[in-house]
Amino acid sequence: MFRTAFCSALLLSAFLAGSSAAHAENRLALVIGESAYRAVPSLPNPANDARAMSKLLTDSGFEVTTAADLSQKELNQKVGDFTAEIAAKGPDTVALVFYAGHGLQIDGENYLVPVDVDPKREADIPLQAVRLNDVLNTLNSVPTRMRILLLDACRNNPFPALNQTAGRGLALVDTKTGAPGTFLSYSTSPGAEAEDGQGSDSPYTSALLTAARTPGLPIEQAFKQVRVAVNKATGGRQTPWESSSLTEDFKFVAATDARDANAALPPAAANTPKRTVDQWKRDLQGKQPDAAHEMIVADGTLEAYQAYDALFSKSQFAPEVREWIVRQSKMLAWKEAVLINTAASYRSFLAQYPDTDLSITARTLIERLRFKPNPLPQVAALNTCTTPSAPSAPSQLKKADIAPAIQQTPPVVIKKVAVTPPREIDPPVRTLPPSREVYVDGPVYGYGGPPVRPFRPARLGWGGGFQGGMMGRPMGGFGRRF
């Protein structure tokens, strides 16, 4: 009896230690629900989703800031204030942002859509909406333990002016190309649209509210359950997607007893390689189609889906699986084209996918790149005005030692002409012997005086107004542009 009591005390002590450790960090959350859109029909569920998520996160130990129906200015302000709160709490902070509402991809960039937008053309979205990369960069600007972004923002595009030219859903973002410690979840896979749902909450939020309340369940396992639940609830039309660069464990709710702690599956190691198609085939071999389908949906990798398609090509899930494979492959090719950001990269994309929702965007970007300024060529410094020096001794170099390019270049006869250089270009750099004076726009000094820097007029360049989805393109997952 004493031994049993002693073991129970040890288990209780271990649980209490683990539970307190799970809540040792600061937890801050910003929850946004955009329902009352002014220029398009309102969305019924984002406001409900935001209220339900606020309660879940409050119960999970988060200090929650809830906001609804924000304009662009208000949304930017909320993100800025939230970042200031994170900075005040310190680096041991888990920062979570939940957004429910409309989201768009324009020219490969993702945008959160405030309630006051009224675009007439694609070029209006960068001016009226909030770029997802700007939100990510703002959160990355302060030290945190981890950043979690949950986006129920892949609903249908409600703007008629953009329906024919903008891509569907959201573009793919790889958190591994940004700061480590980021977890990003979409309510459906990139390039697809999510459903608002018939109930009080969207299918994504409903599944998340259930999975996140499971005691001791790591976040990666929770979202595997979310994927399976949403896929079943929508008849395969919607499958959530996420990207993670987390380096630490996170649970919404700590384990309540040792049984919960043991039941929770450990998160996959960060350096664990993805399974190949052949490995997935071996894992799925001999299983029933529905059980195998649940396995690949929970995993969410292209290799798992390709293995299922090879083994169960006649199952009831085969059309859904093939559609997912085509869409995911297309979005991976689109991401590569946007990262390379050349006319050739977009032509390569069009060669693979000539007739998709992204074809018009690809052709538009090819046309825009015609007007992208080329870098100025590197011109060797001119030295045509140097004072003649004494003849030097004949060179001892053999003809074979002379660079072929120099051998083939005909001699150039330079005729000195006293011409005042125009103000728009740099004057030639003069090399003068000692005791000569240098004349510049300013005081005159002889050698031995203060150092002289020749006057160089400023060059005219291209302004920044052609960035942000207009003339410029992002070069990486987190906001780099050319």
pLDDT at 420: 52
Query: What is the arithmetic mean of pLDDT over 404-424?
Result: 48
pLDDT at 161: 72
pLDDT at 155: 75
395/347 Cα distance (integer angstroms): 53
pLDDT at 257: 64
pLDDT at 302: 93
Residue 259 pLDDT class (50, 70, 90 cuts): low
pLDDT at 18: 40
> Residues 363-379, buried b or exposed e (16+ Cβ, 10 A)?
eebbebbeeeeeeeeee
Q: Which of these ranges, 315-319, 367-371, 439-443, has the smallest mean pLDDT?
A: 439-443
Residue type, 52: A
Map out the domains of the chain as residue ranges: 13-263, 277-372
Cα-Cα end-to-end distance for the chain: 72
318/244 Cα distance (integer angstroms): 28
Asked if residue 65 has pLDDT above 50, the reply is yes
pLDDT at 423: 52
Which residues are bridge partners to 237 per DSSP?
Answer: none
Per-chain mean pLDDT for the chain: 77
Cβ–Cβ < 8 Å for 143, 123: no
Give the rounded percent of residues in the chain with a pLDDT score beyond 70.
68
Residue 260 pLDDT class (50, 70, 90 cuts): low
Q: Which residue has the higher pLDDT, 437 or 114?
A: 114
pLDDT at 186: 93
Nearest Cα to Cα of residue 164 among 297, 419, 452, 356: 356
171/169 Cα distance (integer angstroms): 7
pLDDT at 474: 43
Q: Which of these ranges, 65-79, 217-231, 406-420, has the smallest mean pLDDT?
A: 406-420
Q: Give tens-digit pLDDT for 163-206.
A: 667 878 888 888 877 678 999 999 998 888 888 767 778 899 99
Residue 392 pLDDT class (50, 70, 90 cuts): very low
Q: Give tens-digit pLDDT for 211-241.
A: 999 999 999 999 999 999 999 999 999 999 9
Residue with tokens 């993100």: 79
Asked if residue 85 has pLDDT above 90, the reply is yes
* Domain 13-263 sits in CATH 3.40.50.1460: yes
Nearest Cα to Cα of residue 192 among 367, 357, 305: 357
pLDDT at 9: 46
Asked if residue 56 has pLDDT above 90, the reply is yes
Which residues are bridge partners to 111 per DSSP?
Answer: 104, 131
Asked if residue 159 has pLDDT above 60, the reply is yes
Query: What is the arithmetic mean of pLDDT over 281-300?
Result: 94
Residues with Cβ < 8 Å from 273, sequence gap 6 or more? Answer: none
Cβ–Cβ < 8 Å for 131, 111: yes
Query: What is the arithmetic mean of pLDDT over 75-88?
Result: 96
Residue 385 pLDDT class (50, 70, 90 cuts): very low
Q: Which of these ranges, 373-377, 401-405, 423-427, has the smallest mean pLDDT?
A: 401-405
How far is CA 371 from each of CA 51, 108, 422, rounded to the nearest angstrom? Answer: 47, 19, 27
pLDDT at 374: 57
Query: What is the arithmetic mean of pLDDT over 41-67?
Result: 94
251/467 Cα distance (integer angstroms): 39
DSSP structural state of residue 481: B
Asked if residue 25 has pLDDT above 90, the reply is no
pLDDT at 418: 54
Q: Which residue has the higher pLDDT, 252 or 433?
A: 252
Q: Which of these ranges, 132-141, 252-261, 391-400, has the smallest mean pLDDT?
A: 391-400
358/331 Cα distance (integer angstroms): 9
Q: Give tens-digit pLDDT for 100-155.
A: 999 999 888 899 999 999 988 888 999 999 999 999 999 999 999 999 999 998 77
